[in-house]
Amino acid sequence: MTASPTDTRARWVSYLLAIARPVLEPLSRGMLRQVMPIESRSPREDRAQYTYLEAFGRALCGLAPWLGCPGLTGEEERLRLDTLRMTREALAQAVDPQGPDAMNFSQGYQPIVDAAFLCQGLLRAYDSLYLALPPDVQRQLILRLKATRTRKPYACNWLLFSAIIEVFLRKAGEKDWDPMRIDYALRQHEQWYLGDGVYGDGPEFHFDYYNSFVIGPMLVDILREVAGVSPDWDALAPGIRARAIRYGAILERMISPEGAFPVIGRSMAYRFGAMHHLAQMALLDMLADGVTPAQVRCALDAVICRILSAPGVFDAAGYLTVGFCGHQPDIGEAYISTGSTYLCSTVFLPLGLPPEAPFWRDADAPWSSVTIWGGQNTAADHHLSTRRNN
């Protein structure tokens, strides 16, 4: 915690662009398939059906708030505008059914996942991205998203993927948006809530980071977008908000003084995407009492720097490799490929806050584990006391 908040923000921008631009730049020119590698334990031809939409949708999910950030100036604004232009061009290429980089939305189950991450990104910068697209690109995008409806999601966090696609279609003015997909996802996750801010991934608990990769962020974003649409959904919002705040506090406490956190469960090749939910809580000003924006900034910065300082995170062409702290291919499950790893971009969500926000303005502060392991007197942690509708 030696750099100024301004230096930290500039470093985050440079890291985010180092991750996202190798995907965006060739895609904007219709050349992503020509240059992006496919690393996977599964056969290349299998993952080639999915990896490009994975890379684009997941990169956009984390990049979007910064693309829509108001009030930037100087070099950061120049970079934002250039990346925004590139992203709009990339969207046009991705949904052009005759283009060289036409992405798969209709074959197999995996596109349901990454169309959802794409929609989550579009919702996070709706005016700057979707509304700025030419009408023909908007129409092609809507058609591609509707193509995911031909398959049903699995009975787990995947229900939220179908739900957020419908949330986006509703926002885009589509009259045939399906409230049942949203309602089913919300009600099932209400049944799968286990307590203390944590949901089961389906009927069983999985000790992993899917509450952060998917469940917490998508529940919060869905209910923000459909506020006022249904009294039943509005009634769920306070409890889901309280759980989200609690889980953000848990994640903050899991970051060690050295910027490490437990490597547990599935999909650890998403690297610091495991902090998606904490980053979202900072973006939305939903941090728990006693958890300050500055301490979250410093904690996340320690994680980011720790992981990106490892050799082998990027290949020679600048694409992410499969691994957690460096290139560790065996950490990747069979469903992991190069494109999957781009969910790590979600740690950068607070770049959607302007530089004058407390997250970026306030002086460095120690996060919980620094204080506790440093021997300072610290308030005790407490669980979320009620099971539902907190």
Could you read off the pLDDT of 133-174 as tens digits, one per residue?
999 999 999 999 999 999 999 999 999 999 999 999 999 999
Task: Please state the three-class secondary structure of the chain as a single string.
Answer: CCCCHHHHHHHHHHHHHHHHHHHHHHHHCCCHHHHCCCCECCCHHHHCCCHHHHHHHHHHHHHHHHHCCCCCCHHHHHHHHHHHHHHHHHHHHHHCCCCCCCCCCCCCCHHHHHHHHHHHHHHHCCCCCCCCCCHHHHHHHHHHHHHHHHCCCCCCCHHHHHHHHHHHHHHCCCCCCCHHHHHHHHHHHHHCEEECCEECCCCCCCCCCHHHHHHHHHHHHHHHHCCCCCHHHHHHHHHHHHHHHHHHHHHHHHCCCCCCCCCCCCCHHHHHHHHHHHHHHHHCCCCCCCCCHHHHHHHHHHHHHHHHCCCCCECCCCCECCCCCCCCHHHCCCCCEHHHHHHHHHHHHHHHCCCCCHHHHCCCCCCHHHHHHCCCCCCCCCCCCCCCCC
The whole domain housing 316 covers 5-373
- We report the CATH number of the domain holding residue 113 as 1.50.10.20
Residue 385 has a pLDDT of 81
Residue 379 resides in a domain: no
Residue 268 has a pLDDT of 98
Residue 44 resides in a domain: yes
Backbone angles phi, psi at 195, to 5 degrees: 120, 160
Give every residue of the chain whose pLDDT is below 50, as ranges. 1, 389-390
Residue 2 has a pLDDT of 52
- Do 70 and 134 touch, CB atoms closer than 8 A? no
Residue 52 has a pLDDT of 98
Residue 387 has a pLDDT of 54
Residue 388 resides in a domain: no
CB within 8 Å of 98: residues ≥ 6 apart: none
CA distance to 33, 78, 342, per residue, from 354 (Å): 35, 15, 24
Residue 232 resides in a domain: yes
Q: Six-digit token pair at 140?
A: 């092609």
Residue 4 has a pLDDT of 80
Residue 384 resides in a domain: no
Q: Six-digit token pair at 1?
A: 């915690």
- Do 362 and 293 touch, CB atoms closer than 8 A? yes
Residue 100 resides in a domain: yes
Residue 390 has a pLDDT of 41
Residue 1 has a pLDDT of 46
Residue 18 resides in a domain: yes
Residue 383 resides in a domain: no
Looking at the structure of the chain, the number of domains it has is 1
Residue 389 has a pLDDT of 47
